[in-house]
Each structure stands twice: as C-alpha cells, then as structure tokens.
Chains A and B, each alone.
Chain A
Amino acid sequence: MTDFDTLVQKAKRSWDKLHAQKTPVIYAGAASCGRAAGVLPVIEAIKELKATLPLEIVEVGCIGPCYLEPIIAVQKKGHPTIFYGNVQAIQAAEIVENYLVKNDPQPDKAIGALSSPNGSETTIPSIWDHPMLKAQKRIVLKNCGLIDPQNIEHYLANDGYQALNKVLQMKPETVIQEITDSGLRGRGGAGFPTGLKWKFTRAEKDPEKYVICNADEGDPGAFMNRSLIEGDPHAVLEGLLIAGYAISAVKGYIYCRAEYPLAIQRFRKALKDMRKFGLLGENILGSDFSFEIELKEGAGAFVCGEETALIASIMGERGMPRQKPPYPSQHGVWGKPTVINNVETLGTVPAIIRNGSKWYARFGTEKSKGTKTFSLVGKIRRSGLIEVPLGTTLRTVIYDIGGGIYEDKEFKAIQVGGPSGGTIPAAFMDEPLDYENLNKLGAIMGSGGIVVIDSDTCVVDLARYFLQFTENESCGKCVPCRIGTKQLLNLLTKIVKGEGTIDDFELLEELAHTISEGSLCGLGKTAPNPVITTLTYFRDEYVAHIVDKRCPAKVCKDLFVYVVDAETCIGCEICRKRCPVGAVSGEKKQPHSIDITKCIKCDVCFTNCPAKAIRKVDKVDVIHVSH
C-alpha cells in the first residue's frame, strides 16, 4: 500500500466516524453568503445548547440556494440528516432541539433530507430533489456545502487528490491530452480550450514555467469562484498542482482579491495542510514532482482579473494590461511561459482526470463541453449558485431552477457576463446557454453571472449602470476605453435625462464600435456590450427615451412625475406625513395631491401608500416639455 492509500484510508475512517457517531452534528453553511445572511449568530445560538445537549458543529461551504440562507443541516444517528433554511438565531436552538430531543423533523421548516446509512423513513424529500438542486449537474461543486473546507481529510475521503495521484503516474503529455479530449474550456471568460493552452505553454523552450490561478473575480454580482474556494479549496489546489505537473512548472501562484478574506483564509489553511500531508513542496507524494504555491492578494481592481494586468500586479507593478501577443503562454510572469487559469477551470480538472475525458465530454454541447456554474441573482424567486451542463436552456435555468420571476412579474431579459456581457431578451428563453450561442447573441459567458431583469427595470438605465462601472474600472491606459467609455456614459446619461437627440443613435453606435474595435484589452473591447445588446433588442426603449421622452419602466427619474389617483386615494394622510419636502397636500379622508415642482422623487409615497394610489406618470403627459 502506498503512502497515498494510507492517507486516504485514514481520512475515510475519520469521515465515516463523523457520520456514524452518536453525538449529533450540526452542519452550518458558513461561506460568505451564509455569513451575510446571519449564520454566525445562528452558530452561537446552537453553541449555547451544548451545555445541555452534546453536539458538534461543523462549518461547511455553500450548497447553493442562497435565498434560503442561513442553512443548517442536522445529523442524528439512525435518522436522516435534515436541512433547514432561513434559520434565524432566535429559532435556531428550537429547531435543533425539536429534531434532536423531541424527534420532530419539522417538515414545514425543512428543505430536504439526506438519508443516513441505516436511517429511518421520512416524509421529507431528498435534498437533491429540491427544485433548485434537482435540475443541476454538480461536478465542480460536488463537495460544496457537504464537507468541511478546512479539513483536508474530508476532501481526501471524497476522492480528493486521487487525480493528482493518478497524474503522477502519467506522462505530462498524456495529462494534457486528457484535458484536451475532455473539451474543457476556460471558465474565466473567453472560453479558450484549456488543454490547448497547456500544450502551447509546455511547448515553449524556456524550462522555467509558471501556473497562475486567477481568483480575482471582479464582476459585480458574480460569486461562483468565491463559493468554490470557500466550500472546497482543495479541488482548486489539486487542479493547480495537476496543471503545474502537466506543463512542468516550477511554481504556482494564486491571485486572490483582498476583498475575499474568507477565501484567502481557506486557501492559507489548505496550503498548510497540503504541506503537512506531503502534497506540496519537494517530491510530492514521493514522486519526482516538486512544486510550490504562493498566495498573492490583489488590490481588487476589476482590470486586475485580466491576465496581463494580473501578471503585472504579481510582479509588483501597476495592474495595467499590455497588448497581446506575446501571450502569457510565451511571455508571462517574470517574462516566463505561464499558464493562467480560472478557479473553476482548475477546480474541474480533478474530476476530469478521475472520471476520464469521455465521461466529462458527455455533458454539454458539441463545442461547449461539461458543466458551468452560474450565479443567479436579480428579480428571481430562487437565487443562488448553480451548476448545469452547458447548453441548458435559459428556460430551465430561470423557471425550473430559479422558480420564475420574483412576485410573478413579467420576465424581461437576463444580463449575462456582467459589465462585459450583454442583455438577452426573454424571447430567447429557449436558447441554450453555451459559449457560441451567447457570443452570437452579443453577450459573453464571462464568469457566469446571470442577472434576471423584470419589467420594472429600464434597460437604458441598466446599460448606463454598467458603463459607469467600466468607466470607473478602466485602467486608464488606452484612449478608446478611458475616454470612450466616459463619452458613452455621458451620452447615456443625457438620454436617461431626456436630453437625447435623434443624432445620438448614430453616435452611440459609432462610439460603441470605436471602443470595442480600438481598445487594448478585453475590458475595453467588451465594455460597449451592454449598450450594443440593449440597442439591438430594446431599441424601442431608446426611442421612447430619446424621441418621446418617456421611460417605459418608470425608472429614469427625470422622465416621470408622481401623481395621486384621486379615485383610489383613501385620504389616509400617510404620504402627506412622510413626504420629506412637504410636496403632498390634502385633507383627511379627501384625495391628496402632489406638487410636482416640490417633489424630489424620493419614492416614499409610492412605496408606502396602502391603497397604491400613487402613480408614476410620464412627465410629457403632465407638463408640456419643449424640445
């Protein structure tokens, strides 16, 4: 038996022991999302129970349905493990006690169950039948929310480092071929075939080579990389080791944004444990392969996720992209051949090696193989982190997994790929989500952020929001991006204020073209995407703003006014009392009215009217605007 087998056996024993032990175990989803939802006070509350009730608490990562957080799972010997969602600190102890002491599984509060080896029957359906999880295919996320990310033995007990052990007996070229055959493409944005990237880098003559794990994740709203690191850091690190082995690199870097303190902590702990277990440093697992990993904290600029900027930042320079070619595979960190891969790309590698490229290539489409994680946010009922085979339709994602639009409003569009991506209207609901198709529609996969938009969102304003982001995050190096985004933002601001002219259409289009064709790096090249896609799919909304001076979604404050509908108004006086500028007048039980010259559009009356008597009316219909 090899050293590695001994490690695994020991890990398996302690994993099995944990699951068969008499003392109950509470698993708490304590990734950043869980913490934001308030899991820490929940854990505190459960800890207080310990005085009377023997139990163990294990902090795990995120299992995905963020809208249900805080989530805990209660393990009880001889009974199924039950997951509870939206657990608040005040009821936490009660929920735990009810199950453990009173034997009440509380089906109303439960979100699913995991059957235990000799668990008794339960009416609670399996957690994997939960509507948000059922349609998913979890490969890279398989351990997230189920294992303790800080415990390397949990990872080892769940096939961890098997792939590494396997590749150490393979020729590097064979490893690369395996990845190439799997069809894996970069999950960091551009979707470049990973095997090919490794092959090119390996082919470079310089023997000093590097691998970088890109954990900069700067898209606003995206959090899949963070979740993976916080839930299963070893998967990413195993992938990094395999990449290092495949290209014969001397060293690996992890570039993680400083705004991810928990992820950094998870990495730190994992690296320490790896060294202890002989998985890092000299002669890994007794082989000839030696490898070091250094963790670098990034200052959190969006552009630092761009590979050449990231490399500059690692070398202590300002995070400014440089023109490619030469590519990092030729001229990367310290001027040496470098592979740079996204967190998820690397996290997927072990599964491919373990199960074979054929197995992986079964998922997905012809050109986009495998699965991809997406963060599902916005006006959606079930938000969270999901993993589906590439090529899954938007309909499946939005309705089957996401449960449809929040408050049953009208599904208008999705924005994929963050500020570099595009807005795809609901009409394309049956289009498969894959690299080619998203590009065809004018968006990009990006890192996989999906923001769901309903009829209350103004797409012109949305485009303006994204432009504001890129204008701020431009590194300032090249003209089209630095000045172009500013001028584009300026045009959009003019339009949402109702000051646009018909000539602006041409200028918008030309400027978008100049920025995307002229910019140096991907940030600038993709910055106009939100404008281009909304102009393509929602041109009527631009026309409404520019020509009619109307904002159909009633979002652009310069284009509508608040009016009280006298017939609906019950004269409750709430709006009159709440209005901060005294713009509302009216007697008790009499219809009120709003002085639009005083109104500052704070929205207080609109959101607080119990009778929903406040209307947003296009300004042009109320006062004559000359233009």
Chain B
Amino acid sequence: MLVIDGKKVPFVEGKTILEIARENNIHIPTLCAHERLPSFGACRLCMIKVHGVPGFMNACTTPAKDGMVITTNNLEIKKLRRAIFELILSEHPSSCMICAQAEHCDKFNSGIMKAGVITGCNTCPNKDMCEVRAIAEELNFKTIRFPIFYKELPIERNDPFFDRDYNLCIHCGRCVRVCQQVEGAHILVFTKRGHDTKIGTSFEKPHIETDCKFCGQCIDVCPTGALSARGQKWYQEPDDRVRTTCMLCNKGCRFEMDVKWGRIVAVRPDPDYKTLKTGICVKGRFCLPTFFNAVDRIRFPRFLQNFKLYPTNWDEIGSHVAELLEAYPPSKIALYLTNFLTDESDYVFRKFAEMMEITNIYTTVEDLTQIPKKGIKVLWTTEGLPGLKNFKTLEHLIFQEVFPSEGYELADVVLPAAAFTEQFGTYYTQRGPMPIQKVVKAPDLALEDWKIVCKIAQELDLSGLNYLDVDEIEQEMGRVNYKQKVRPVDEYYLKYRGTPIAEKVPDFKILLEYRKNRAKPW
C-alpha cells in the first residue's frame, strides 16, 4: 500500500512512482517520460516529495516502495516545477505560449503559418500535438523572467523524409532512447557538452551517411516540433486514426495511420504492438502516404477502342471482360496473381479460376515463359509485368492494378484496384494471419481485387462468387480449410505490385541511389 496525495493505492513491486500514480489516475506532469521507453529523469518536471526523505525526488525513475507516503502537488513542489519549466521555456521558441494576445490570435489564426524558421507555436507544424505547449497551458504560464535564448542551430533539411530543427529540442532524450534502446541503432546520440549539448548523429553527419534506417521512430516520440516528417507535417489534428498491417512485405508490421481530408497523411507504428525485432522500415513509415496519394492512380475501369483506353463503369467493363473470357477456351487463358493480394482476394481469384477451369495460374515472372509454350491468348494480370510485348501469342491483356505500371500500354482492359490501405482483409505474414483494415476510401471507382472478380463472375453467371464482405469469404475459407502461405516478399522488395516505390517517392529514390553501393539500403 502506498499513499499518494492522501489516496491509498496498491503497491506493485518493480514499478516506479510515476507508473503507480498513472495507474491510479493521479496526474504528474512529465516531458521526458514515455510509456514505450525506459525512464530517463532529465526534464525534472515529475518532481514529488516522499515523506521522510529530504529534498525532492523524481517520480519517473524512483522505484516505489511499500508504505511510501507521497505528495505530488503541494505549494513547494508547484513552485519548483514552475521554475524548472520556466527554464525550458527560456530556450524553446515559446513566444506564442506566453503572448498576451494568444487567445485572440488563435481565433483568427487558427491554422499554422508556414515559415522558414519556427519562432513560436503559430509557425510550428506540431502546434496541436506539442507536449510543451500542453504543460505551459496546464501550469498557466504567462511570463518568463529570464532572457530568451534561441540556439541558432542550422535547421537540418538535407536528409530525405525528415527535417530536424534542434532549436526546438528540449533534450528529453526520447529520440535517443528509441533509437538506441528500441531500434538498437545508435544513430542518435547526445553530442557536445555543457550548455551546448545537443542531439544529433556522431560527427553531425547527415542521417543518410550514417546507418540510419529511416524508421522514423524518433519523430514519433518527439514531444516537440523539433523532428518532423517532411510532407507529413502541416496537417494539424488528423480527422481519424486507423490501425492496420503493412502489406509492403511479409513481416507483418502494424501501423497507425493519420487520416485527414480522406487521405493518409502520416504513418507510425501501432503503439499497442511490439514491432518485430528489426522494427518498422522506411517503406512503411515514410513512403506509404506519398506512394498511395500519387496522382496517377488508376481510378476508372477502361477498355480499348479506337486505339484509346476509354473510361467506363463497372457494369459495362464487367460484361466486356465476361465476353472476352468466353471467347477463348480456358487453356488459352492465364491469370497472374500478385503477391500483394489479400488472402481473401487470392482465394476468390483461385476459386474463380477453378470454376472457369483455368489452370494457368502464374505467380512469378519466370512463370510467364509458359505463355508461348502453351499459346496463351488472354492474360489477366494483377500486377504490372516486364517484357509482355515479347509474347506474340497474347491477344488480350486484362490489367488489374493500382498504378499504370509496366505493360499498361499493352492493356485492352484496365481494372482499377484498391490499395491495401483501402480495404478490409487478412494478410498471411511471418507472424501469421494479420488483419488488414480499411484506412481510407479507394479513389473513384477503384475496388478491392476480390470485388472485381465477383463483378466479372456475376456477368459470367458463376454462382458461389457473390460475397457481401470479407468476413463471408473468410468463413468460407475456414470451412474449406484453405491454407494461405507467406508470400516471398521480403523487407527489401522495392515494388508494390508492379510499381517501384521509388518511382512515386522521390525521397526514396534519393535514399536508394545514395546507398546503392551498400549491401542493404537500410
């Protein structure tokens, strides 16, 4: 038993005072503590008093002891806490926090102004999420009695994916801890000493020159606007936050995605999920939003007429494809199933093939060598493929994709597919079957792969391919005991379906080119 602010709370062996206080809804202001990280004791905001112990203790590192009597908020503590926070504010661009016109200003300047240098909250992209600002509000700060120091550090903008403005840094050490103790990467360190101590890489090298993996975890834990993902930072509070599994490879990393105006604007690891030992990668963390938000997504079904791909609706394209397939014997038709299909879509495709008696199911580029041997006339691919024009037997190409990738120019039917962030489903990964969640709506008429198959099956009058949702498919897969396996897509696979990620994400291209001589790019 412990007593905190007069309240009796249960003692738990091995926990810190802060942890026990939090579990019992007793609020202690903190800045350097973070639930995912080992405690550090640097900000000194969590100062408390333990009865019988002279001086103050910090709650975040002090192990609780049975019988402790703790005060978290008397006058003396409040005074010390304010004094310490005042020192933080004297070095963190805080003019907006203490401005007498703050309320007035917020009314008219509700957004954030983009500016070359962040001088206060109104020019800081982190305004709505800033933990320093939250504490300033909690402690009701109005003045700073000390001269304000702006550190005048150069803003680091030379790396791909992120900007780093250490003038905003409060030295909480969260980024260093996540880098060293969670990622095991040791890229971020404390450098220099004394008052000039700062965070950075050893020898202040740009991150791209170090072994930085661009996992972005430092950005996620930073309580200030010091670290920000470029291109993901001016969105303020997201409209929605959705968690899903990454399908860019088979590791099964979990993400939380910020949604604003119907678009994914930021990605971070699912806070409730331990990522795999190697952590999340740059593809998921940084490339994903830019990639799927790229303007040239395939949005409408199209078919070739007068040498042009005309957009159309699903009814028309459905009957068009049905007619086309019926015109050929199944032995002349081939299906190419990409490794990026959800388990449900993969199953539906295979069931469709079985019903249509199509046995030519390809899953690798090597399989394509079968085309001339078997005299395949119709290829329905779910992935852009190289070298299709060399196959002279091909008369029709049904191109079901997210982007107009390789082979698109040969297509006479185009079917717009939803990306994995735009659908529900399951993906069998190294950690087993993982749920895929719909984060945003697919663009225009794009549809889940299985739904496209169902549309066409309907036109072909195939029964048993008429599902309401993925749950129904899943149940059926269970009934027939369908076993999915891990697709051969590792972390360093650089495409999504047929599109190289670097093609849509310039920063990723920079990274790959800069590190082309390394065994692994990250």
Give A residues with C-beta under 8 Å from B.
Answer: 301, 303, 318, 320, 322-323, 325-326, 471-480, 482-487, 490, 507, 510-511, 513-514, 517-520
Q: Are B193 and A478 in contact (CB under 8 A)?
A: no
Q: Are B194 and A476 in contact (CB under 8 A)?
A: yes
Q: Are A518 and B80 in contact (CB under 8 A)?
A: yes
Taken residue by residue from 33 to 49, chain B's Cβ proximity to chain A (1 for < 8 Å, 0 otherwise) reads as 00000001111100100
Q: Are B87 and A479 in contact (CB under 8 A)?
A: yes
**CA gap between A398 and B450 in the complex, in Å:** 93
Q: Are B90 and A476 in contact (CB under 8 A)?
A: no
Give B residues with C-beta under 8 Å from A.
Answer: 40-44, 47, 55-56, 58, 61-63, 80, 83-84, 87-88, 90-91, 145-147, 149, 170-171, 173, 189-190, 192-198
- Among residues of B, the one whose C-beta sits closest to the C-beta of A321 is B41
Q: B62 contacts which chain A residues (CB < 8 A)?
A: 323, 325
Q: How far is the CB of A81 from chain B (nearest CB, A)?
A: 48
Q: How far is the CB of A85 from chain B (nearest CB, A)?
A: 40
**CA gap between A482 and B87 in the complex, in Å:** 9
Given contacts A474-B193, A520-B44, list 10 more A-B pairs with CB under 8 A.
A318-B189, A323-B58, A472-B193, A472-B194, A474-B195, A476-B190, A483-B90, A483-B91, A518-B84, A520-B58
Q: Are A477 and B90 in contact (CB under 8 A)?
A: no
Q: B197 contacts which chain A residues (CB < 8 A)?
A: 474-477, 482
List 28 interface pairs A-B (beta carbons < 8 Å), by A numbering: A301-B193, A318-B189, A322-B61, A323-B41, A325-B62, A326-B63, A472-B195, A473-B194, A475-B193, A476-B193, A476-B196, A476-B198, A477-B40, A477-B190, A479-B88, A479-B170, A479-B171, A482-B171, A482-B195, A485-B195, A486-B195, A507-B146, A510-B83, A514-B80, A517-B47, A517-B56, A518-B44, A518-B80
Q: B171 contacts which chain A residues (CB < 8 A)?
A: 476-477, 479, 482
Q: Are B63 and A325 in contact (CB under 8 A)?
A: yes
Q: How far is the CB of B65 from chain A (nearest CB, A)?
A: 10
- Among residues of B, the one whose C-beta sits closest to the C-beta of A473 is B194
**CA gap between A424 and B101 in the complex, in Å:** 49
Given contacts A323-B61, A514-B80, contact A476 B192 (CB under 8 A): yes
**CA gap between A83 and B453 in the complex, in Å:** 105
Q: Are A487 and B146 in contact (CB under 8 A)?
A: yes
Q: Are A318 and B145 in contact (CB under 8 A)?
A: no
Q: B84 contacts which chain A residues (CB < 8 A)?
A: 479-480, 514, 518
Q: How far is the CB of B291 from chain A (nearest CB, A)?
A: 38
- Among residues of A, the one whose C-beta sits closest to the C-beta of B173 is A477
**CA gap between A470 and B84 in the complex, in Å:** 18
**CA gap between A476 and B91 in the complex, in Å:** 13
Q: A473 contacts which chain B residues (CB < 8 A)?
A: 193-194
Q: Are A477 and B195 in contact (CB under 8 A)?
A: no
**CA gap between A517 and B83 in the complex, in Å:** 11
- Among residues of A, the one whose C-beta sits closest to the C-beta of B172 is A479
Q: B55 contacts which chain A residues (CB < 8 A)?
A: 517
Q: B88 contacts which chain A residues (CB < 8 A)?
A: 479, 483
Q: A517 contacts which chain B residues (CB < 8 A)?
A: 47, 55-56, 80
Q: Are A477 and B194 in contact (CB under 8 A)?
A: no
- Among residues of B, the one whose C-beta sits closest to the C-beta of A506 is B145
**CA gap between A325 and B88 in the complex, in Å:** 25
Q: How far is the CB of B457 from chain A (nearest CB, A)?
A: 62
**CA gap between A482 and B146 in the complex, in Å:** 14
Contact among A303, A471, A483, A520 for B87, CB-based, below 8 A: A483
- Among residues of A, the one whose C-beta sits closest to the C-beta of B82 is A514
Q: Are A474 and B189 in contact (CB under 8 A)?
A: no
**CA gap between A495 and B33 in the complex, in Å:** 37
Q: Are A520 and B194 in contact (CB under 8 A)?
A: no
Q: Are B42 and A477 in contact (CB under 8 A)?
A: yes
Top 4 closest A-B pairs, CB basis? A476-B197, A323-B41, A323-B61, A472-B194
* Number of CB contacts from chain A to chain B under 8 A: 102
**CA gap between A303 and B62 in the complex, in Å:** 22
Q: Are B194 and A484 in contact (CB under 8 A)?
A: no
- Among residues of B, the one whose C-beta sits closest to the C-beta of A318 is B190
Q: How far is the CB of B289 from chain A (nearest CB, A)?
A: 35
Q: B63 contacts which chain A residues (CB < 8 A)?
A: 325-326
Q: Are B44 and A480 in contact (CB under 8 A)?
A: yes
Given contacts A323-B61, A472-B195, contact A479 B147 (CB under 8 A): no
**CA gap between A55 and B68 in the complex, in Å:** 71
**CA gap between A507 and B147 in the complex, in Å:** 12
Q: B190 contacts which chain A residues (CB < 8 A)?
A: 318, 320, 475-477
Q: Are A471 and B43 in contact (CB under 8 A)?
A: no
Q: Are A518 and B195 in contact (CB under 8 A)?
A: no
**CA gap between A369 and B479 in the complex, in Å:** 84
Given contacts A325-B63, A479-B87, A518-B84, contact A507 B194 (CB under 8 A): no
Q: Are B41 and A519 in contact (CB under 8 A)?
A: no
Residue in B56, B84, B197 whose Cβ sees the most chain A Cβ within 10 Å: B84
Given contacts A490-B147, A517-B80, contact A479 B44 (CB under 8 A): yes
**CA gap between A325 and B190 in the complex, in Å:** 23
Q: A478 contacts which chain B residues (CB < 8 A)?
A: 41-44
Q: A477 contacts which chain B residues (CB < 8 A)?
A: 40, 42, 171, 173, 190, 197
Q: Are A479 and B193 in contact (CB under 8 A)?
A: no
Q: B42 contacts which chain A residues (CB < 8 A)?
A: 477-479, 520
Q: How far is the CB of A420 from chain B (nearest CB, A)?
A: 16
Q: B40 contacts which chain A residues (CB < 8 A)?
A: 477
Q: B193 contacts which chain A residues (CB < 8 A)?
A: 301, 303, 472-476
Residue in B58, B87, B146 whose Cβ sees the most chain A Cβ within 10 Å: B87
Q: B146 contacts which chain A residues (CB < 8 A)?
A: 487, 490, 507
**CA gap between A239 and B405 in the complex, in Å:** 75
Q: A482 contacts which chain B residues (CB < 8 A)?
A: 171, 194-195, 197
Residue in B44, B55, B91, B196 whose Cβ sees the most chain A Cβ within 10 Å: B44
Q: Are B87 and A487 in contact (CB under 8 A)?
A: yes
**CA gap between A473 and B194 in the complex, in Å:** 5
Q: Are A518 and B41 in contact (CB under 8 A)?
A: no
- Among residues of A, the one whose C-beta sits closest to the C-beta of B85 is A479
- Among residues of B, the one whose C-beta sits closest to the C-beta of A469 is B194
**CA gap between A475 and B192 in the complex, in Å:** 9
- Among residues of B, the one whose C-beta sits closest to the C-beta of A470 is B194
Q: Are B195 and A483 in contact (CB under 8 A)?
A: yes
Q: How far is the CB of A200 from chain B (nearest CB, A)?
A: 16
Given contacts A323-B62, A325-B63, A483-B87, contact A476 B195 (CB under 8 A): yes
- Among residues of B, the one whose C-beta sits closest to the C-beta of A320 is B190
Q: A483 contacts which chain B residues (CB < 8 A)?
A: 87-88, 90-91, 195
Q: Are A514 and B43 in contact (CB under 8 A)?
A: no
**CA gap between A103 and B195 in the complex, in Å:** 62
Q: How far is the CB of B381 from chain A (nearest CB, A)?
A: 53
**CA gap between A477 and B44 in the complex, in Å:** 10
Q: A303 contacts which chain B residues (CB < 8 A)?
A: 193
**CA gap between A519 and B41 in the complex, in Å:** 10
**CA gap between A507 and B83 in the complex, in Å:** 10
- Among residues of B, the one whose C-beta sits closest to the C-beta of A483 is B87
Q: Are B41 and A520 in contact (CB under 8 A)?
A: yes
**CA gap between A326 and B16 in the complex, in Å:** 12
Q: How far is the CB of B77 from chain A (nearest CB, A)?
A: 10
Given contacts A318-B190, A487-B146, A514-B83, contact A479 B43 (CB under 8 A): yes
**CA gap between A474 and B194 in the complex, in Å:** 4
Given contacts A479-B44, A483-B195, contact A514 B56 (CB under 8 A): no
Q: A471 contacts which chain B residues (CB < 8 A)?
A: 194-195
Q: How far is the CB of A210 from chain B (nearest CB, A)?
A: 22
- Among residues of B, the one whose C-beta sits closest to the C-beta of A485 is B195
Q: Are A514 and B41 in contact (CB under 8 A)?
A: no
**CA gap between A390 and B168 in the complex, in Å:** 50
Q: How far is the CB of A25 from chain B (nearest CB, A)?
A: 47
Q: B43 contacts which chain A residues (CB < 8 A)?
A: 478-479
Given contacts A320-B190, A476-B192, A478-B43, contact A486 B149 (CB under 8 A): yes
**CA gap between A326 and B41 in the complex, in Å:** 13
Q: Are B83 and A518 in contact (CB under 8 A)?
A: yes
**CA gap between A325 and B47 in the complex, in Å:** 15
**CA gap between A490 and B149 in the complex, in Å:** 11
Residue in A478, A510, A520 whose Cβ sees the most chain B Cβ within 10 Å: A478
